[in-house]
Amino acid sequence: MHSKKPFLFAHRQFFRLWLGQVTSQAGTRIYQIAIVWWILSVSKEHSGFALGAFMVAGALPSLLLFKLIGRVVDRMPAKFMLVACDLTSAALMGYVAWSLSNDTLTLGAAYLFGFLIAVAEGFFNPTITKCLPSLVSAEDLEQAVAYQASSQYLASFGGSVLGAMLIAWLGIPLLVLLNAISYVFSAIIEMTLVFPEAPADGEENNNAESASGG
């Protein structure tokens, strides 16, 4: 008697999407922890204001661009959006790592890059949700949504803990650089995703057939 495969392993395309999601979202949290640590070290007298400004910069995209994000995510191919968001974040964090290593990063630049990375995340997260019906069958969609939602919290928590642990060991510049590399890894995973072609008029949707495809 064969045991039933775990959900993630039974749905290979969804597993790849999930792995890319966890890597990307955990990376964002690690970056935030690293930059918060850096802000505290360079703005001791005004650290409260500096941290508040950084948090505001990271929250603004979701408040200001939600209509644009919705339109773009709805119209653009999901794979393109996922890969583009991760590669954009990788490039931004790579530049931040270089600036940190050369001691040229300013608070203003940290706010700007925090905003831009939050923009990329703002496009990435709804694209993940958009992908789910294409990668699992209708009967498995509820469980896939549960995995996706819980993974977001897991990535946030794990990234925060891991970031705090690695700062003392690696230092902020190297940690940010490794984080940039993790985004490239996530993008490579997402490049392997295979989405079913949109059915022509009168044809049945073949989502169920591709739900566990390799």
Q: Within a domain: residue 24?
A: yes
The rounded distance, in Å, linking the Cα atoms of 106 and 108 is 5
The rounded distance, in Å, linking the Cα atoms of 122 and 206 is 29
Q: Within a domain: residue 2?
A: no
The rounded distance, in Å, linking the Cα atoms of 200 and 188 is 30
What pLDDT does residue 170 have? Answer: 85
Q: Within a domain: residue 202?
A: no
* Upper half-sphere CA count for residue 99 (Cβ side, 13 Å): 16
What pLDDT does residue 206 have? Answer: 43
The rounded distance, in Å, linking the Cα atoms of 71 and 206 is 25
What pLDDT does residue 9 have? Answer: 66
Q: Which domain holds residue 153?
A: 9-195
Q: What CATH code is carried by the domain that includes residue 64?
A: 1.20.1250.20
The rounded distance, in Å, linking the Cα atoms of 27 and 79 is 19
- pLDDT tens by residue, the chain, 214 residues: 444 677 766 678 888 888 888 887 888 888 888 898 899 888 877 778 888 888 898 888 888 888 899 999 999 998 999 999 999 999 999 999 999 999 999 999 999 999 999 999 899 888 888 888 877 777 878 888 887 778 777 887 888 888 888 888 888 899 899 889 889 988 998 888 887 655 444 443 444 444 444 4
The number of distinct structural domains making up the chain is: 1
Q: Within a domain: residue 113?
A: yes
Tokens of 16: 């790849």
The whole model's pTM is what?
0.79
Q: Within a domain: residue 211?
A: no
Q: Within a domain: residue 62?
A: yes
